[in-house]
């Protein structure tokens, strides 16, 4: 379905997803899961793309015991929603990495895979189901927008999904991802970049170039060249 039509006096996109009725995923169980450790419950949502040929190939992989990978959900390009692991259980989607100083992201998160090769935009039906699903998971587990992250955020250098074409700003406008700072460029000296990134959650130990690449994937995916004010602006403290 096409995006909302602009009508005078009404916003183009509401702050709440258009579909808030409960989603009914197609249950396609994966054997690749375990118990969340240390009694943890979901406090993060990690977004991925599959980088596979199509959704069926991704489903096969995510449910194959030989591969030892899974996710809670997969969303096809046409908006089909599959569930492979119960939200209460620990799916194997995040791997090594860290966010805000915390590791074992699998025990703390719900993983959502999007059928996308990384080389093309995310279709509207897929995004609309993602937005509804995020809204509902966030309500179920009291997860704030700031705790919706990309795989590349917690595994800088090792992972680059959901990639250059993922519409983070659209999610931010809908309160489904943490809003970038609006304080404008130039507020923070360049030597503060790693400290600002660290404070924003990027605590995995990586070199400066890898850190910059990860932050750009989230905030200005087509940014090039050396570190500049536009890289600092989205991270600048909101005070």
What binding mask, one character per residue, do residues 1-40 give for Zn ion by CB under 5 A, x or -? Answer: ----------------------------------------
Nearer to Zn ion, 183 or 210 (CB): 210
Size of the site for Zn ion (CB under 5 A): 3
Neighbours of 233 (CB within 10 A): 20
Q: Least distance from C-beta 220 to Zn ion, angstroms?
A: 21
Nearer to Zn ion, 112 or 188 (CB): 112
153 binds Zn ion (CB under 5 A): no
Q: Least distance from C-beta 154 to Zn ion, angstroms?
A: 10
What binding mask, one character per residue, do residues 41-60 give for Zn ion by CB under 5 A, x or -? Answer: -------x------------
Nearer to Zn ion, 192 or 213 (CB): 213
Considering only residues 59 to 118 of the shown chain, the ones binding Zn ion according to CB under 5 A are none
162 Cβ contact partners less than 8 Å away, ≥ 6 residues apart? 47, 48, 49, 114, 116, 150, 151, 152
CB 204 within 8 A of CB 155: yes
Structure tokens at 87: 């939200």
The distance in angstroms from the start CA to the end CA of the chain is: 40
Nearer to Zn ion, 52 or 188 (CB): 52
161 binds Zn ion (CB under 5 A): yes
218 binds Zn ion (CB under 5 A): no
Q: Least distance from C-beta 52 to Zn ion, angstroms?
A: 11
CB 114 within 8 A of CB 126: yes
What whole-number distance in Å separates Cα of residue 206 and Cα of residue 154? 11
Q: Least distance from C-beta 180 to Zn ion, angstroms?
A: 22
What are the two backbone dihedrals, phi and then psi, of residue 150, each rounded to the nearest 5 degrees? -95, 160
Which stretches of the chain are DSSP H helices? 55-62, 105-108, 124-141, 151-154, 168-173, 193-200, 208-219, 229-232
List interacting residues with Zn ion (CB under 5 A): 48, 151, 161
């Amino acid at each position: 379905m096409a995006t909302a039509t602009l009508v005078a006096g009404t916003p183009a996109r509401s702050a709440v997803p258009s579909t808030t009725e409960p989603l009914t995923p197609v249950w396609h169980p994966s054997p690749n899961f375990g118990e969340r450790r240390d009694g943890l419950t979901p406090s993060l949502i990690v977004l991925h793309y599959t980088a596979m040929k199509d959704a069926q190939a991704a489903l096969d992989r995510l449910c194959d015991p030989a591969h030892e990978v899974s996710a809670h959900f997969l969303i096809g390009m046409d908006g089909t929603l599959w569930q492979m692991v119960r939200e209460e259980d620990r799916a194997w989607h995040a791997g090594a990495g860290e966010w805000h100083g915390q590791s074992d992201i699998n025990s703390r998160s719900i993983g959502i895979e999007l059928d996308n090769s990384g080389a093309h935009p995310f279709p509207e039906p897929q995004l609309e189901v993602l937005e509804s699903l995020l809204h509902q998971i966030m309500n179920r587990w009291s997860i704030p927008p700031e705790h919706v992250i990309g795989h590349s955020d917690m595994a800088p250098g090792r992972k680059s999904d959901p990639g250059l074409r993922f519409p983070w700003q659209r999610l931010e406008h809908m309160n489904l991802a943490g809003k970038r700072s609006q304080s404008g460029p130039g507020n923070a000296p360049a030597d503060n970049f790693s400290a600002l990134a660290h404070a924003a959650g990027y605590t995995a130990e990586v070199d400066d170039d890898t850190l910059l690449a990860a932050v750009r994937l989230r905030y200005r995916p087509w940014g090039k060249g050396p570190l500049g004010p536009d890289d600092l602006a989205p991270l600048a403290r909101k005070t």
